């Protein structure tokens, strides 16, 4: 079952959409659907905060220098993706 979505666009974005639809010879709604699908398909499944949640708000982390090097640990965890 298809569902309808109504939204307002800034004038410059609407103009870009119109140009793209004309260039691609498609309806504006088709261009929006494709763009939305691409955007949603490329979003990470896990939010970055979830990767480091176990390091936040802990009194006993088992990491002796976490208080001094917390930024290093957060960055390393985010880069590793776990």
Each residue of 19-45: pLDDT tens digit?
A: 999 999 999 999 999 999 999 888 777
Q: Does residue 5 fall inside a structural domain? A: no
pLDDT computed for residue 27 by the predictor = 96
- Give the closest residue to 67 by CA, choosing from 81, 51, 49, 55: 55
For 15, 30, 42, the CA distances from 37, given in Å and listed in that order, are 21, 11, 9
Q: What average pLDDT does this structure show over 63-71? A: 77
State both tokens at 6.
Answer: 């109504």
Domains of the chain: total: 2
Give the tens place of pLDDT for each residue, 47-64. 777 878 877 765 666 777
- Give the closest residue to 81 by CA, choosing from 49, 51, 41: 51
Q: Which domain holds residue 25?
A: 11-41
Q: Does residue 24 fall inside a structural domain? A: yes
* Measured distance CA(67)–CA(82) in Å, rounded: 20
pTM exceeds 0.75 for this model: no
Do 53 and 37 sit in the same domain of this protein?
A: no
């Amino acid at each position: 079952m298809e569902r309808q979505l109504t939204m307002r666009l800034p004038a410059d974005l609407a103009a870009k959409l119109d140009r793209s639809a004309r260039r691609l010879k498609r309806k504006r709604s088709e261009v929006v659907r494709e763009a939305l699908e691409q955007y949603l398909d490329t979003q990470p499944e896990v939010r970055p905060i979830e990767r480091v949640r176990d390091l936040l708000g802990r009194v006993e982390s088992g990491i002796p220098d976490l208080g001094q090097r917390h930024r290093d640990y957060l960055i390393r965890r985010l880069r590793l993706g776990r």
